[in-house]
Amino acid sequence: MPTLKKRVSCPVNEPNSVDDDVLLINGTLIINEETKRLIKKKLGRNVLITQQGRMALAHIDEEVARKHREELCKPLSHHILEKLVKECNSRSF
C-alpha cells in the first residue's frame, strides 16, 4: 500500500478520510464476460459482488464505509465480509 500512496494524489487506506461512497475492487478479480457486464453496469449503493467466496467488487455508501472504516483499510477478513454481506445487496458469480 505504500507504493499506491506514492502513485495517487488522494488518501489511500486512511480511515479518517472517508467522506463519500467507497468503491472496492479486488486485485485478484477474474475478468470474464460476466465481470465486464457488471463493471459496465452502474453498481447501485451498498452492492457487494462475490466471486468464488471472495469480495470481487463492492460499492458501499458513506454511512456503511464510515461504520467499517478501520476494517476496510486492512485486508478483508471473512468476518468483515460477512458483516458487509448483511448490510449490502449481495450477488455472486
Please list the pLDDT of the chain residue by residue as tens digits (93 residues).
Answer: 454 455 556 555 666 777 788 888 888 877 788 777 777 776 778 988 887 888 888 888 889 988 988 888 778 888 888 888 888 888 776
Range of the domain at 37: 2-92
Tally the domains of the chain: 1
Separation CA 36–CA 57 (nearest Å): 12
Q: Tally DSSP H helices, then E strands, for the chain.
A: 5, 4
- List CB contacts of 23: < 8 A, sequence separation 6 or more: 43, 57, 58, 59, 60
Separation CA 25–CA 38 (nearest Å): 12
Question: Residue 90 has what pLDDT?
Answer: 81
- Of 90, 76, 78, the C-alpha closest to 24 is 76
Q: Using one digit for the tens of pLDDT, what is the confidence trace for 69-92?
A: 888 877 888 888 888 888 888 877
Q: The whole model's pTM is what?
A: 0.69
